């Protein structure tokens, strides 16, 4: 009897052990899958029913802007535009470095320059991936981000593009026999026709080094309007990401839209270089302020900034030169009426200040996710490709003491009884030194980028490419900061692409100076503002979605960054400008459509036949908003409300 009990107990232990092994195996193999399932990523996410999606409240937050629906993308040539020929003036090769948006804008300008000089363009080299050590050999230089074959085929009628120089010319390039130019982004067409073209005809090859985010001025003469359309064809059609990036980006969009949900993409714009350039150090605290000031001092030394090192950051913020902080964006979205469970995608490979600055926004919107929570580690690793291991960064490790050193210290530690020896030394990782900026407490000079840092810079290009796909496809896009014409940046690039692809998509273009004044009026009641403050925010942001916001963007940004506002050159209208004048609509709409070409008939036939009920509903929503504003005694978006005009808003309202 006892032996049977022992055997039964032993069998139970074996089964329990086997069950534990199986459980651990399943948990490990499914860990990556759980990371991006909708159940775990999005908390208490309710599926919107058809009735909810058709409700006025839902449409106010997610519907397209009705007045901009007549605008459609149309970048085709509209005048004599001969096909590119192989017999031309020579070859242009280029090396490009910088951030994602600078690289993309530089490629666009390169194609336009090649067309202007009637030259063959060699696929440019992206230095962030070409110089990085140990990155995947499967993808290098241009192909690290973009599809080379698609790029060449899409521009066959515009520019002759080859993957490399002929062998003889390549050898001469290695011997540095050809002249190299370093043009600025403000270089004029005259510079190329008078300075570069003669040397190109003589040597048949020239090189360009681009670090300024472009090589051709944004505003071109009216006689060169076809070059602007060429820029649109390059940026929005020819520059397609390599298939692995495209597939993962579309998969992220599908996961965000799971269960029939809509999502909002938000780009904070909190980049160290931008903060240093605009003098926004004091809106942060402690070591972050010191880091921004250090970078600003470098920019002054390099001649990028001609101002003083110390400026009043709070005055700059009141002037609209600094980004909106994530907490402020959360308050604006809450004032607009976006519910706490709204799906928000956080884009951008760099958010200066880290997760600490995102805490207030995460508290207001729990469904705030980024690529790391939408993609498994395996998916991101497959995108990067196989990489060779690098030598560990010396800053991450302390020197390990040898056994003889440990024994010598023990023998010299004094008479017994002695305390136990300390545990063996372990690596001190960078995050234990308060992040990558641990050098601030140890050194006066920022260390040179290590091999790991260079590899991470290449990876950031991939992460920005994923975020770009998700941001362009979002139902709503909210920029925390855009350069307002001071150069290419991620948010402006996304806003321009959305304007080109679907002008009526909801893209906020906030006036940061006006919003700073609004926040000043309710600084003591940020989370419980008065009703008239809420209506002022709604009025301003709703106007920024439509023609008023577009006209402001055109005046500020287009002269310095064409791709941020590629209309009217790259678009057409299904409504005539004269019809808008006779319709009695506002003057802003007339100014926006002035100069727009009429879409060809074949394009007009592709217009979707929307139900007339949508127009009625949109009019009802507008009148409802106007009625609310009038009932609350609100006098317009340009008037800053006073706290004395109304009582505090009910937080549950």
Along the chain (653 residues), what's the average pLDDT of each consecutive run of 10 residues?
70 75 63 48 61 71 87 86 76 91 93 92 87 76 91 92 87 83 90 92 90 89 90 94 94 91 92 88 82 88 85 88 92 93 90 86 92 90 83 60 82 69 61 59 73 84 94 94 77 93 92 91 86 92 88 80 89 74 60 75 60 47 44 47 48 40
pLDDT at 289: 86
Q: Please, what sign has the CA dihedral across residues 133, 138, 144, 149?
A: positive
- All structural domains of the chain with their residue ranges: 91-240, 271-321, 574-614
pLDDT at 263: 94
What is the distance between the alpha carbons of residues 627 and 620, in angstroms, rounded to a whole number?
Answer: 10
Show the tokens assigned to 42.
């999005």
For residue 186, the SS3 value is: coil
pLDDT at 439: 67
Residue 485 — left, alpha, or beta (φ > 0 → left; ψ -120 to 50 → alpha)? Answer: left
For residue 309, the SS3 value is: coil
Nearest CA to 178 out of 236, 118, 92 is that of 92
pLDDT at 632: 43
Q: Locate the DSSP E strands across 462-566.
A: 476-479, 506-507
| Cα three-residue angle 243-244-247, rounded to 5 degrees | 80
Q: Facing residues of 267 across strands?
A: 479
What is the distance between the alpha carbons of residues 322 and 299, in angstroms, rounded to a whole number?
Answer: 17
**How many beta carbons lie within 10 A of that of residue 308, not counting itself?**
9
Show the tokens assigned to 169.
């010319």
> Helices in 279-325 by DSSP H: which ranges?
287-302, 313-318
Instruction: Write b or e for each residue in 245-278: b if 16 or more Cβ atoms lie within 10 A of its Cβ, otherwise e.
Output: beebbebbbebbbbeebbbbbbbbbbbbbbbbbb
pLDDT at 287: 78
Show the tokens assigned to 406.
């440990």
pLDDT at 625: 42
How many Cα neighbours within 13 Å face the side chain of 76?
9
- Quickly list DSSP for 56-71: HHHHHHHS--GGGTTE
Cβ(185)–Cβ(212) below 8 Å: yes
């Amino acid at each position: 009897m006892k032996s049977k009990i022992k055997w039964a107990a032993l069998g139970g232990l074996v089964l329990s052990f086997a069950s534990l092994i199986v459980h651990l195996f399943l948990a490990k193999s499914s860990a990556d899958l759980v990371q991006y399932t909708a159940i775990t990523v999005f908390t208490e996410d309710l599926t919107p029913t058809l009735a909810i999606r058709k409700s006025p409240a839902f449409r106010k937050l997610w519907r397209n802007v009705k007045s901009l629906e007549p605008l459609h993308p149309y970048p085709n040539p509209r005048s004599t535009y001969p096909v590119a020929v192989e017999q031309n003036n020579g070859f242009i090769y280029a090396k490009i470095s910088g951030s994602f948006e600078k690289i993309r804008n530089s490629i666009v300008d390169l194609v336009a320059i090649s067309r202007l000089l009637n030259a063959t363009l060699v696929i440019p080299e992206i230095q962030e991936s070409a110089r990085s050590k140990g990155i995947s050999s499967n993808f290098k230089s241009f192909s690290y981000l973009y599809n080379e074959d698609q790029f060449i085929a899409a521009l066959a009628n515009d520019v002759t593009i080859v993957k490399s120089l002929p062998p003889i010319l390549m050898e001469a390039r290695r011997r540095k026999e050809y002249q190299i130019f370093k043009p600025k982004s403000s270089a004029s067409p005259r510079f190329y026709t008078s300075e570069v073209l003669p040397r190109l005809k003589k040597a048949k090859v020239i090189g360009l080094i681009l670090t300024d985010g472009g090589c051709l001025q944004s505003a071109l003469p009216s006689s060169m309007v076809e070059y602007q359309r060429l820029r649109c064809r390059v940026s929005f059609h020819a520059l397609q990401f390599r298939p692995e990036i495209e597939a993962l980006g579309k998969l992220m969009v599908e996961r965000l839209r799971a269960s029939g949900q809509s999502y909002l993409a938000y780009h904070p714009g909190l980049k160290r270089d931008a903060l240093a350039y605009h003098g926004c150090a004091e809106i942060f605290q402690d070591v972050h302020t010191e880091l921004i000031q250090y970078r600003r001092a470098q920019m002054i030394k390099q001649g990028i900034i001609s101002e003083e090192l110390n400026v009043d950051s709070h005055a700059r913020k009141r002037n609209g030169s600094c980004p909106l902080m994530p907490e402020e964006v959360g308050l604006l979205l809450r004032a607009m009426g976006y519910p706490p469970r709204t799906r928000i995608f956080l884009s951008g490979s760099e958010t200066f200040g880290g997760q600490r600055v995102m805490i207030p926004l995460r508290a207001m919107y729990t469904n705030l996710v980024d690529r790391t929570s939408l993609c498994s580690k395996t998916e991101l690793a497959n995108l990067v490709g196989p990489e060779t291991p690098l030598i560990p960064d010396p800053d991450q490790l302390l020197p390990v003491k040898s056994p003889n050193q440990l024994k010598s210290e023990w023998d010299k530690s004094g008479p017994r009884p002695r305390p136990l020896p300390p545990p063996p030394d372990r690596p001190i990782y960078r995050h234990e030194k308060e992040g990558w900026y641990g050098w601030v407490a140890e050194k006066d000079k920022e260390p040179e980028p290590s091999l790991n840092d260079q590899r991470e810079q290449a990876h950031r290009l991939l992460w920005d490419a994923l975020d770009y796909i998700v941001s362009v496809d979002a139902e709503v896009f909210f920029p925390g900061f855009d350069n307002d014409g001071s150069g290419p940046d991620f948010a402006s690039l996304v806003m321009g692409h959305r304007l080109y692809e679907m002008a009526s998509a909801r893209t906020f273009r906030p006036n940061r100076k006006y919003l700073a004044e609004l926040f000043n009026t309710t600084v003591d009641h940020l989370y419980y503002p008065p009703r008239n403050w809420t209506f002022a925010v709604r009025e301003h942001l709703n106007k920024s979605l439509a023609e008023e916001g577009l006209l402001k963007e055109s005046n500020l940004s287009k002269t310095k960054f064409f791709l941020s506002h590629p209309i009217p050159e790259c678009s057409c209208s299904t409504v005539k400008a004269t019809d808008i004048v006779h319709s009695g609509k506002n003057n802003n709409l007339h100014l926006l459509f002035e100069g727009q070409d009429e879409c060809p008939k074949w394009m007009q036939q592709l217009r979707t036949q929307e139900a007339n009920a949508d127009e009625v509903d949109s009019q009802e929503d507008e009148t409802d908003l106007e009625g609310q504003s009038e009932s609350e005694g609100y006098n317009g978006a340009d008037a800053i409300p006073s706290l004395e005009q109304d009582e505090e808003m009910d937080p549950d309202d």
